[in-house]
Structure 1
Amino acid sequence: MSHIAVERNRRRQMNEHLKVLRSLTPCFYIKRGDQASVIGGVIEFIKELQQVLQALESKKQRKSLSPNPSPSTPRPLPLPAKPNHSPIGFETVGDVGACCNSSLADVEARIAGSNVVLKIVCGRIPGQILKIIAVLEKFSFEVLHVNISSMEDTVLYSFIIKIGLECQLSLEELAVEVQQSFFSEPVFLNEI
């Protein structure tokens, strides 16, 4: 087989594989049709799927360690007594990020250029995204992009947010404020 035929076959296979990758990846991950954009979008999608998988494994492990309540008995939500004393685990991730975890949700805030990437892994809670957006707007953040990925009863919210001029929150405070939204009353569309 000549070198030209081998190269033509390689390009054909590469294009077929890129078509498959593009078809398996949600369209909002791929900004343009060029090969680099397709591969970059697939990488981002895989990273988010890995985060959802880790969250599901963590949730499964927590469920196996805790006694199961009866299905007819609703579990009460752990409400914080004071803002400074809540059932939340907080962790600073270097100087560019912060994590805030609880039994209801894992929240991570990171600096990405001039914006903040906010990722929340939690169970499906009706109206929760509205509460998160209300918290962001309350503290002068502008939502630039939202991505919602779900698997069974677990949801990954990924926000790209712009920091407003009036915003005075640190990443740690942002993570805590978003985490606190999981302990507040539900928000419904007719209340907005």
Structure 2
Amino acid sequence: MSHIAVERNRRRQMNEHLKVLRSLTPCFYIKRGDQASIIGGVIEFIKELHQVLQALESKKQRKSLSPSPGPSPRAVQVQLPPIQADIPFGFEAGGELGACCNSSMADVEAKLSGSNVILKIVSRRIPGQVLKIISVLEGLCFEVLHLNISSMEDTVLYSFVVKIGLECKLSLEELAVEVQQSFFSDPVYVNDIN
């Protein structure tokens, strides 16, 4: 077989594999149809699946260690100063700023990314919960720029990108706690929203 035929066969196989990867990945992860975009989207999807898996394993471990409801939603591990709306874009390059707030109801992680916050929440599936989270964020002067919801069985991962409002004076720790508290309040239904 000539070199040209071998190369043609390799390209054909590569294109078939990329088609399979694209078909297995939710469409919102892949922005364009080129090879780099497909591979980048698959990487992001795998990272989120890995986070869901880690959260499930953590939850399973917590349940097997103690039958108690888990730590208080006020049990927060923090590594950051308060959020400032005027932080220049790309500030996190020197070190990631973030906060976590975990309970038996949900694990909440908030990270600073330029003038935005990346908020990831892993919990069991609760009807109307995403509306409660959005309501809390908007009430705290954050604007939801992007929302991605991934679920596996009865567990769901909410990934938000939120813009920090100019009047926002919360720290990431306080934001994580506020979002965590939304899991302990009454449900919000579509008909209740103005």
- Normalising by the residue count of structure 1, what TM-score does the alignment of the two structures yield? 0.86
Match of 2:159, SS?
strand
Offset at 1:140?
1.2
Q: Hey, what does 1:99 align to over in structure 2? A: 100
Q: Hey, what does 2:185 align to over in structure 1? A: 184
Offset at 1:64?
1.9
What's the RMSD between the two structures over aligned residues? 1.8
Q: Retained in 2: the 8 A contact 1:93–1:99?
A: no
Q: Retained in 2: the 8 A contact 1:143–1:161?
A: yes
Match of 1:147, SS?
strand
| Structure 1 unpaired stretches of 5+ | 69-76, 79-85
Runs of 4 or more, structure 1, over 6 Å off, are none
- The 2-side partners of 1:139 and 1:120 are apart by 17
Q: Hey, what does 1:149 align to over in structure 2? A: 150
Cα deviation code 1:131-188 (max 9, x no counterpart): 1001110111111111111111111000111111221112111111111111112111
Q: Name the aligned partner's letter for residue 149 of structure 1.
A: S
Match of 1:9, SS?
helix
Offset at 1:93?
4.6
- Normalising by the residue count of structure 2, what TM-score does the alignment of the two structures yield? 0.85
Q: Hey, what does 1:72 align to over in structure 2? A: none
Q: Retained in 2: the 8 A contact 1:122–1:155?
A: yes
More relative contact order, 1 or 2 (CA 8 Å, 6+ apart): 2
Number of equivalent positions:
177
Cα deviation code 1:44-94 (max 9, x no counterpart): 0000001111111112122222349xxxxxxxx89xxxxxxx543211256
Percent identity, aligned pairs only, is 81
- The 2-side partners of 1:113 and 1:37 are apart by 23
